[in-house]
């Protein structure tokens, strides 16, 4: 049973969450996990000025996804940072190249799940994930979120991302906050939960 984690990250927060999601997937017996990143669209000079080029070196070893890579997965967990309350353009652009897969019903019945990162606490984590779900539903995917059996999302004694829609982190407006243990725990849970459900659907 194959789980693919397809993400975009500019400064590394979504990548850190993706690693934790992958750890969760690996806890499920028989689950194979592959991390892939979608192609960058921002020109090098702009990445350099914003400090993103340096940050992106940390995950430059992760292979770049092609739309057809999605076809042989049993579950796909997508990670994308928020841009104005929606997924980033790099991920949108990637998904907009999956029309061929859609025409062949290639993703119908696969598990789909989403996690995200925002700069601010109420900057659009939930809208980013639920609007992402619309695309997955057009593909006929079976949406899986983060059930309240993951009790870390009840946490009120510290600032924390995470909701029934999926794991999230809050990067801070200057990107200085990395995912907390609580948030990474939710990311691991999401990976494990998706893999467990995919395993049942595949019947393996």
Which residues are near ligand FMN by CB under 6 A? 9-14, 81-85, 117-120, 123-124, 171, 175
Residue 180: name the closest of 121, 113, 112, 114 by CA.
Answer: 121
Element (H, E) at 34: strand 32-37
Cβ closest to ligand FMN, residue 123 vs residue 140? 123
Q: Least separation, in Å, of the C-beta of 71 and ligand FMN?
A: 26
Q: Least separation, in Å, of the C-beta of 43 and ligand FMN?
A: 14
Residue 139 has which token pair?
């593909």
Q: Least separation, in Å, of the C-beta of 169 and ligand FMN?
A: 8
Whether 4 and 173 have beta carbons less than 8 Å apart is answered as no
> Does residue 149 sit in helix, strand or coil?
coil
- Tell how strand 86-87 and strand 75-83 pair up: antiparallel
By beta carbon distance, the residue nearest ligand FMN is 123
Cβ closest to ligand FMN, residue 31 vs residue 62? 62
Q: Least separation, in Å, of the C-beta of 171 and ligand FMN?
A: 4
Whether 194 and 48 have beta carbons less than 8 Å apart is answered as no
Number of Cβ within a 10 Å radius of residue 10: 23
Q: Least separation, in Å, of the C-beta of 18 and ligand FMN?
A: 9
Cβ closest to ligand FMN, residue 84 vs residue 154? 84
Number of Cβ within a 10 Å radius of residue 88: 23
Cβ closest to ligand FMN, residue 58 vs residue 204? 58
Cα-based angle 180, 156, 196 (whole degrees, multiple of 5):
60
Cβ closest to ligand FMN, residue 77 vs residue 171? 171
């Amino acid at each position: 049973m194959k789980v693919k984690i397809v993400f975009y990250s500019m400064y590394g927060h979504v990548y850190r969450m993706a690693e934790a999601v992958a750890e969760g997937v690996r806890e499920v017996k028989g689950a194979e996990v592959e991390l892939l990143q979608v192609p960058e669209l921002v020109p090098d000079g702009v990445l350099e000025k914003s400090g993103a080029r340096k940050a992106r070196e940390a995950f430059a070893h992760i292979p770049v996804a092609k739309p057809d890579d999605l076809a042989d997965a049993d579950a796909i967990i997508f990670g994308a940072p928020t841009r104005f309350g929606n997924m980033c353009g790099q991920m949108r652009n990637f998904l907009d190249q999956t029309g061929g897969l859609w025409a062949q019903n290639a993703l119908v019945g696969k598990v789909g799940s989403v996690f995200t990162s925002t700069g601010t606490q109420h900057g659009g984590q939930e809208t980013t994930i639920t609007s992402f779900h619309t695309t997955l539903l057009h593909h006929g995917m079976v949406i899986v979120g983060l059930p309240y059996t993951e009790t870390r999302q009840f946490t009120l004694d510290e600032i924390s991302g995470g909701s029934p829609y999926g794991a999230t982190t809050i990067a801070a407006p200057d990107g200085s906050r990395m995912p907390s243990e609580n948030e990474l725990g939710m990311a691991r849970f999401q990976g494990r939960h998706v893999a467990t459900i995919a395993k049942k659907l595949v019947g393996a």
